[in-house]
Amino acid sequence: MDWIIGDIHGMLVPLQALVTAVRHEDSEAAIYFVGDYVNRGPDSRGVIELLFDLPTARCVRGNHDDLLDLILNGNCLAPACCGADPVDAFVWFTNHGLLQTFLSYGASQEQLERMMQYPSARRLQELCDLVPATHKAFFADLPTLRVLDNFFVAHARWPESVPPSPRLDLDPILQEMLLWGRWTPAQLHTQKNWPSVGYFGHTPVPNYRSESDIADARDLYLPIVAQQMVLIDTASALNPLGQLTAWCHQTGSYLQADRAGNVLLTENIPDVWPGDDNQDPRRV
């Protein structure tokens, strides 16, 4: 069966637990990832190494990965968002967990402090030299879209009126949307001109929920089922109550792992992409 895992952001412990649980449920699972493997969490390097050891992993690019590609390799697919200068990109994303990524690759606190105080291409190169060539190539080669016969996987957003196609993801406007776009609450419920369901991360699911509308604060971190789409960035690295989510496309069941690696198996959802149903906290 096919499983889709949400934004990881350096959270190796829940990822290890979730992959083990998925394999226990489904020994032949194909596992797709919506991107954002790095930043914020404590072990981005370990996350990438786990992906290398997972032969069934199919990855797409997130905006954090695109910006790290710029820093490491001098290239990105959404320059209008990332900018063109790797040093400027580094300084910008120190506020979004980038320092944790370089710490995981062996950078010292002193190196990072010097780079923050006196940013330069030379100091950045010293940091980038800590990253193995295989990891640099991983970020350089990440696609922005994976389209299967009955579902597709992207990081941020895809236009409601356009059927997903790998040939279209080379368009610079669509690439920017794929990596940085945000769904409005109204767009979650519009009819999509897609032949299949889409899986997305990028925007944490609490952005679409209010604590006053739910019985338990943990329900803020359940995946969201909307019109012909599922949102699975359940904020593993952003909040102590956040979870990492793996969704099974064929069954509509999902697993979640917390920061300590505790795994919860949820019940199936009979209809994976229904209309509105505000009785279920997974739907908005």
* Strands across the sheet containing 197-200: 145-147, 151-154, 197-200, 229-231, 224-226
Strands 197-200 and 224-226: unpaired
State the pLDDT confidence band at 104, using cuts at 50, 70 and 90: very high
CA dist 173 and 151 (Å) reads 22
CA distances from 66 to 43, 72, 89, 127 (A): 18, 10, 11, 17
CA distances from 265 to 148, 169, 204, 245, 269 (A): 25, 34, 20, 10, 12
Q: What is the mean pLDDT of residues 129-135?
A: 98
pLDDT at 171: 83
State the pLDDT confidence band at 269, using cuts at 50, 70 and 90: low
Buried b (16+ CB within 10 A) or exposed e, 198-223: bbbbbbbbbebbeeeeeeeeebbbbb
Q: Which range is least confidently modeled, 46-50, 143-147, 253-257, 267-271?
A: 267-271
| pLDDT of residue 121 exceeding 50 | yes
Q: Which range is least confidently modeled, 115-119, 220-224, 265-269?
A: 265-269
Domain spans of the chain, in order of start: 8-38+144-178+196-284, 69-141
